[in-house]
Structure 1
Amino acid sequence: MKATRKRLTPEESRSSALDAARALLIETGPQSVTLKAVASRIGRTHANLLHHFGSASGLQKALAEHIARSVCETIIEAVRASRAGLGSPREVVDLAFDAFDREGAGALTSWMLLTGNEDALDPIISTIHDLVDEIAPEEASHGIEPGRIHGDTLTLVLMALGDALIGGALAKSLGLQRDAARERATAMLEASLADYQQD
């Protein structure tokens, strides 16, 4: 008897494809995130994924948004926990750095830039902006200047991205520990947290 394939809702199919694309990104790099590879991994057809994403670049853009949303939701929870004394600035830093390194956002970012698909970065930038907009009013209510959280976020994201791309080699060549950039980012967030708690 021939086995029948489970019928998925459009949302389930799209979510399954994005999970598979993220796994491929982490396992073998951004160049492997193709409609054909993702379709093969989830047992769907190329046409099925074309219907959901329009093109390989549409899939990559959706993947960037998927990663960014997941990472930012985790980071905002960690920021709030840190402010409530339930977590540490280092945990926030580790989440951001791991997102760009272990979760593949750094590799995906560089791949998008190299292939000229820069608009695929828009979801990452937009999601980070939304994260900052959600945190910023809390900062202002404690007397922290409005641009401070934006500046800290810019610095943290750039440090995390740079560390994912060349952090290991650069730290080694400078005779520094591998987590030197994380230590610097942690010090920056600790200073911001100290300002927040002084109010």
Structure 2
Amino acid sequence: MLSATPRRLSPAASRDAALAAAQALLIESGPPAVTLKAVAARIGRTHANLLHHFGSAEGLQLALIGRMTTDITATIRDAVLRDSSAPPDPRRLVDLVFDAFDGGGAGALASWMILSGNRDALDPILAAVHDLVDDLAAGVEPAGRPIGAETLQLVLLALGDALLGAAMARALGLPRDTARACAASLLAQATPD
């Protein structure tokens, strides 16, 4: 009988597999499910292997939030800069940001990490968003458009919606996407004609 030994992966491939498994666990079961043991079991590796790559569960979670943030900011950057001759569609931008925080699990993970005492959890998000705003503000007409304020508003609305949006909409008898519609309306009002 052949033994089922895990195939050898490069360190980068092993790390990527662990982060993909961690994100799947996050989406399926929430932030508390993102543990070294659960991720190791999901990818057929040992707890020690993941300790080598991430140092701790907190390190895994920080790497995951960093990866998720990099992915979503790249998507938003591409969506905005794809056709710089036309203004970006406010609803499309809102949906990208809200989907990252809610459907992608970034909002729940960031909140959980902060509430667990890990104040550094926001560092990858803040750095990536800062870089994105700098990129988008370069050459924007009219000069001085409040992209930073628009970004702050959009991110806070998306985070709040990820955490309380469904329950609040249900309690108020509103359609689930009301917060998205409000955010798109605010963003459209801030967009110059």
TM over 0.5: yes
* Matching of residues 67-82 of structure 1 within 5 Å: 67-81=68-82
Q: What is the match of residue 88 of structure 1?
A: 89
CA drift of 1:78 comes to 1.6
User: Any stretches of 5+ residues in structure 1 without a counterpart?
Assistant: none
Give the superposition deviation at 1:55. 0.5
Counterpart of 2:143, as a letter, is I
* Contact 2:6 2:45 survives alignment (8 Å): no
Instruction: Give the C-alpha shift of residue 168 in structure 1.
Output: 1.6
Q: Deviations over 1:44-86 (max 9, x none)?
A: 1111100000001000100110110111111111222475449
Distance 1:143 1:92, change over 3 A: same
Q: How many pairs does the alignment contain?
A: 192
User: Following the alignment from structure 2 to structure 1, what is the Cα–Cα distance between the partners of residues 151 and 87?
Assistant: 21
Asked if 1:5 is matched to 2:17, the reply is no
- With 183-192 and 93-102 compared, the bigger mean Cα shift is at 183-192
Is residue 2:171 matched to residue 1:173?
Answer: yes
**Which residue identity does 2:138 align to in structure 1?**
P
State the Cα distance separating 1:131 from its structure 2 match. Answer: 0.8
Residue of structure 1 equivalent to 2:185: 187
TM-score, normalization by structure 2: 0.92
Aligned match of 2:26: 25
Provide Cα deviations, 1:137-192, integer angstroms capped at 9, x if missing partner.
132xx22315x000000000000000011112222333332211111111122233
Name the CA distance, whole Å, in 2 between partners of 1:182 and 1:138.
27
Distance 2:169 2:80 in 1: 27
Matched to 2:72, the amino acid is V
Q: Which residue of the other structure, out of 103, 127, 152, is the alignment partner of 1:154?
A: 152
1:114 alignment counterpart: 115
How much is the aligned-residue C-alpha RMSD, in angstroms? 1.8
Cα 1:43–1:177 shift into 2, 3 Å: same
Q: For the Cα contact (< 8 Å) 2:21–2:39, is it kept in 1?
A: yes
* Unaligned stretches of 5+ residues in structure 2: none
Give the corresponding residue for 2:56: 55
With the length of structure 1 as denominator, give the TM-score of the two structures. Answer: 0.90
CA contact (8 A) 2:31 2:112 kept: yes
* 1:2 shift after superposition: 3.5
Q: CA deviation at 1:3?
A: 4.8
Alignment identity in percent?
Answer: 56
Conserved 8 A contact 1:26-1:104: yes
